[in-house]
Amino acid sequence: MANEKDIKEAILKVAGNPESGAIHSLAGQMAKAILELENPAEPVSPRAEKPKREVRVTEPTEVR
């Protein structure tokens, strides 16, 4: 299992070891994102993610 530093070094190596630019400045964030994909955070609770049930009015409740 690779750590964040190893992933960052691999990204920089594939990109040609840039010393400046977008790849150089974003390599750390890319490494963190890849690490999160390998180790996803566990959801809090499957029941907590259920949406609230809708109540639709099909007939008026009052009579005029």
DSSP string, 7-24: HHHHHHHHTT--SSSHHH
User: In a 10 Å sphere around its CB, with 0-12 CB exposed, 13-18 middle and 19+ buried, how is residue 54 labelled?
Assistant: exposed
pLDDT tens digits along 11-53: 999 999 999 999 999 999 999 999 988 887 776 666 666 677 8
Domain residue limits, the chain? 4-40
- What global pTM score does this model have? 0.59
Q: What is the pLDDT of residue 20?
A: 92
Q: What is the pLDDT of residue 40?
A: 76
